[in-house]
Chains A and B, each alone.
Chain A
Amino acid sequence: MVTLGAIVLVIIKVLLALGVIMTAIAYITLMERKVLAFLQVRLGPNRVGPWGLLQPLADGIKLLFKEEITVAGADKVLYLLAPAVVMVCALLPFAVVPFGKGIVGESFLGIPLDQFDLGKGILADIDTGILFIFAISSLSVYGVVLGGWASNNKYSLLGATRASAQMISYELALGMSVVGVLLLTGSLSLVKIVEDQDWIWKWNCFRQPLAFLIFLIAGSAEVCRTPFDFVECENELVAGYQTEYSSMKFGMFYLAEYGHLLLLSSLVTTLFLGGWQGPILPPFVWFSAKVFFMLFFFIWIRGTYPRLRYDKLMHFGWKVLLPASLVNVVATAVIYSLYLGGKA
């Protein structure tokens, strides 16, 4: 029986998660600037608040109060739709990422916790969690394509074409690299994948090292991070598909970019680093710590490597990463069925 209390609780849970995610995204922008500054022996933002801690707030206010410009030749509807699509596609997948073990206990304030996954450390525990994430993130390419096309600008269109070609190409390798993990776990559910990695040598980064590497590379290409940031290759394309966007519409593209980075870090944590599993400290702390480490790792990479060349990128994606991930799937399947004895 669905009670009103349960519905209220579920809404509170979702809003709480959304608040945490949005705050985290805002502070990742600061973290990136700070860490990059550290890597380049600079100080980074340090004027707004202590250690620049209020910088994201100042940035947000600045973006909100900037003038909205809609280009005259733009397709108005799609021009408005594109940032929204990108933002939604960046936030929606967090619904199936398990961030904790869940509450012990049957009820809260007299409301039974067995409905709507209320007692679990995840917003929606669905059977096909990983497919849901891939399905939604495959839609985020539309935001890029439509934004680039609707701006009616040749740099935007070129940037969009490039970005979507890159995202589609690397999505394949990304998907195939996860298949090895799915084979070992025997389930598409992210909750089960985390529960399966209950000790450090059972973490999938040790059981599936090749898949881990491919996932990291294809993942950073998927969210368009350096060395794969051709989307906004400023010396060739001005700013790619977001050239004509200003004010908060640009802000949404910007936030979605960091949202994708946070999602990628959470996914790496969930799939390969044991999710919330860990001794002594509470599960949510472990999860956050691992995500934080992955974020640092991606920023570190950005501070270290130069941008690739575009044709090299496509060659690498199709001729190295995809075959390697296929080999990984075949090898995992053979070893699994011959030596480990399939359980499913």
Chain B
Amino acid sequence: MEALFFYLFGGLALISSFFVIFLRKPVHNAVALIFTFFCLAGLYLILGAEFVAMIQVLVYAGAIMVLFLFVIMLLNLEEEEAIEGRGNKFRRWLGGFAAVVVFLLLAPVWLMQALPVVKGTFPPEKVQELGNTVWIARLLFTDYLLPFEVASVLLLAAIVGAVFFAMKRM
């Protein structure tokens, strides 16, 4: 059962991420990316990480991609312009290089027959005990309080910046 869903979501995620790269219209790319995020959320669910899965859909698929789509739609990016952007030779080489590096980094994992089992501090049984929402909340507000606060300050700075630019226009 789990394997079935893993191949379903994993396969769909792969196919849709190919679409993200190869489709011609920017809006289609964005929609394919949304679908990829959705499939990733499915993979998180299989891992038993319900909270992360929901947040993945809510934040990435639901909020961030709406902004992307808005920008693409309002700028009305046409096919030709997008392709013109791809024509840059240096960028092409850079992209190819990055792809090779990522492949080389992942190759050892591929070659490994089975991953060595390392028990982490949070095996599924322990997570199931309280449910993963409770665990994440507990860790965020105790052990990881400082990073959490720093991240919120960063977001606040971004909001202030956005307001500043909006005020300038007015």
Interface residues of A (CB under 8 A from B): 2, 75, 77-78, 81, 126-128, 131-132, 134-136, 138-139, 141-142, 145-146, 149, 157, 161, 164, 168, 188, 344
Contact = CB atoms under 8 A, between A and B. Distances in A.
A168 B1 CA distance: 36
Given A2-B1, A126-B50, A128-B133, A135 B31 contact: no
Contact of A135 (B58, B132, B134): B58
Interface of B: 1, 25, 27-28, 31, 34, 38, 41, 50-51, 54-55, 57-58, 61-63, 66, 69-70, 73-74, 131-134
Nearest to B41: A135
Nearest to A164: B66
Nearest to B54: A131
B66 A168 contact: yes
Contact of A131 (B1, B34, B58, B61): B58
Contacts of B57: 135-136, 138-139
A77 B28 contact: yes
A127 B28 CA distance: 34
A134 B58 contact: yes
B10 to A, nearest CB: 20
- The SS class assigned to the B binding surface is helix
B8 to A, nearest CB: 17
A139 B54 contact: no
A139 B61 contact: yes
Contact of B27 (A78, A126, A188): A78
B34 A142 contact: yes
Given A77-B28, A78-B31, A139-B62, A149 B50 contact: no
Contact of B133 (A2, A127, A139): A127
Contacts of A188: 133
A170 B133 CA distance: 25
B50 A128 contact: yes
Contacts, number: 68
Contacts of A142: 31, 34, 66, 69
A145 B69 contact: yes
A168 B63 CA distance: 8
7 contacts: A126-B50, A127-B50, A127-B131, A128-B50, A135-B57, A142-B31, A168-B63
Contact of B51 (A78, A81, A128, A161): A128
B27 A149 contact: yes
A126 B62 CA distance: 20
Contacts of B34: 139, 142
A135 B133 CA distance: 15
A141 B50 contact: no
A81 B28 CA distance: 11
B31 A138 contact: no
Contacts of A135: 41, 54-55, 57-58, 61-62
A344 B54 contact: no
A73 to B, nearest CB: 13
B133 A138 contact: no
Contacts of A164: 66, 70
A131 B55 contact: yes
B73 A157 contact: yes
A78 B28 contact: yes
Given A127-B133, A134-B54, A146-B69, 4 more contacts: A75-B27, A127-B50, A127-B131, A161-B73
